[in-house]
Structure 1
């Protein structure tokens, strides 16, 4: 067997997956589940956005603690934590935008500032925001906080585009799908920072999932399909489990 290059030999085990096409497929499904699941608790169960945020924040915190304490990469634990970020992102964004009366523009601006602040603090503290450097508890903490803010911002952007901007769910999905296609093309045919492109794609998949989730469960009069939030959530959950089982999930290689 050939010896590993020195950069690979110094790599530490990772608890985050390789970023592949399968990763993005599961990510989009998880963000859609976050929208339908979050709405099921806050709206269908009539618990409200604040109570829903409290419930999902507790689940998110427990999942992150389990993820940080884990000794190696566990696909189901990782994606459960991602789903937790999407559900708390859904209810938190709705609470900020609607219950606090800030509106989509104000809520999106606040959440963008929080996301940029998290990335700045991460870079200032550890020197990089690349997922290839997520190899310590501190890096994992920054990673999950940044993801949570990105999921919340994505929810607000999706609602803003589909609602206030008047594009509707289909139009908003086409817009975010096109932006993701541009990001993918930039990745394939340019040398733009892979770290920058990763975070752009990560943020854009959230509003795409948000508007698809809304399209599935919102009333016909509002431009949706009026599907049950519970049945839509269960279907997405089963799809994610199938993808995790069928699409090989390998830990990414991180560098010391």
Structure 2
């Protein structure tokens, strides 16, 4: 597929509002349950039946979700305006790919949650540094050119993967459990929000800090929903939990898109 790059025009990412963060948390939680559905419930069982230990489901799942992510990013770059359905589908793809990739790095490669988190943190910081070096600035709200958009989605994918590893680290190795991990990262997000409203700390830095932190929040909530009772979860069906989260996410995005259209009409009037 030939990617046509849009260099000028309106930003192709949504306004950063409360609705954006609600949708982001829902999308990351959905990414956790959907990623586990494929890599653990479906592919894990398939590889186990083939005489393996099932862990290769993480790698196969990463390949499948990575392919979907690449296709959606290409479509996103080709788009000339912000398209809510396409944007949030790409966010979900990056989240599910991040879930399976983090699990593969942490568990299959044997480097553990701490090692995986450290590697992924370096990748996030490296992506932001390269973005700054090439573009001259890092933006979270004005994404127009194809090159900027590629940096945007690369950073998002690394941050989603890092968030998954952090969530697992806090819940498992940290001994906090799923609800304890959710409380920890929810509190950290509250601190970032306080800094945003009460200080002049760089807004772009705060955006990416919040973006990273919403991922482990979603990861711990997602694990709480679908993990067995014996591990501190509610033992809900992964496909059912994923479907319910998807329905709520669609509703939130639709409401946000309608309000955005109304605001645009009022501004034009």
The TM-score normalised by the length of structure 2 is: 0.88
Is 1:169 matched up with 2:178? Answer: yes
Task: State the match for 1:6 in structure 2.
Answer: none
**Residue of structure 1 in register with 2:130 after alignment:** 121
Equivalence for 1:42: 39
Partner of residue 234 from structure 1, selected from 235, 240, 243: 243
SS in 1 for 2:43: coil
Give 1:245 deviation, angstroms: 1.3
Q: Which residue of 1 aligns with 2:267?
A: none
Q: Structure 1 residue 200: deviation in Å?
A: 0.4
Q: Which residue of 1 aligns with 2:218?
A: 209
Q: In angstroms, what is the RMSD of aligned CA positions?
A: 1.4
Q: Distance in 1 between matches of 2:226 and 2:220?
A: 10
Secondary structure (helix, strand or coil) at the match of 1:248 reads helix
5+ unaligned residues in a row in structure 2: which ranges?
A: 1-7, 45-56, 262-269
- Answer yes or no: is the 8 Å Cα contact 2:32–2:219 preserved in 1: yes
Distance, in Å, in 1 between the alignment partners of 2:178 and 2:12 is 34
* Counterpart pick for 1:25 among 10, 16, 22: 22
The answer to whether 1:91 aligns with 2:88 is: no
1:14 pairs with 11, 15, 39, which one? 11
Q: Does 1:193 align with 2:202?
A: yes
- Are 1:102 and 2:99 an aligned pair? no
- Deviation digits for residues 42-94 of structure 1, max 9, x if unmatched? 00103410000000000000000000001111000000000000000000000
In the alignment, the residues of structure 2 paired with residue 75 and residue 149 of structure 1 have an alpha-carbon distance, to the nearest angstrom, of 22
2:48 alignment counterpart: none
1:158, distance to aligned residue in structure 2 (A): 0.1
- In the comparison of the two structures, how many residue pairs are matched? 242
Query: Per-residue CA shift, 1:161-183, capped at 9, x if unaligned?
Result: 00001000011000000000011
In 1: Cα distance, 2:241 partner to 2:13 partner: 27
Tell me if 1:225 matches 2:234.
yes
Q: Is the 8 A contact 1:133 1:139 kept in 2?
A: no
Deviations 1:213-239 (A, max 9, x none): 000000000000000000000000001
Structure 1: segments with no counterpart, 5+ residues: 1-10, 252-256
TM-score relative to the length of structure 1: 0.92
Residues of 2 paired with 1:243 and 1:135: CA distance?
24
1:146 aligns with 2:155: yes
Cα distance in 1 for partners of 2:138, 2:113 equals: 27
Counterparts of 2:214 and 2:91, CA distance in 1 = 12
Instruction: Please give the per-residue CA displacement for 1:16-51, whole angstroms capped at 9, x wherever unaligned.
Output: 000000000000000000000000000010341000
Equivalent residue number for residue 135 of structure 1: 144
Moved over 4 A (4+): none
- Is the counterpart of residue 182 in structure 1 residue 191 in structure 2? yes
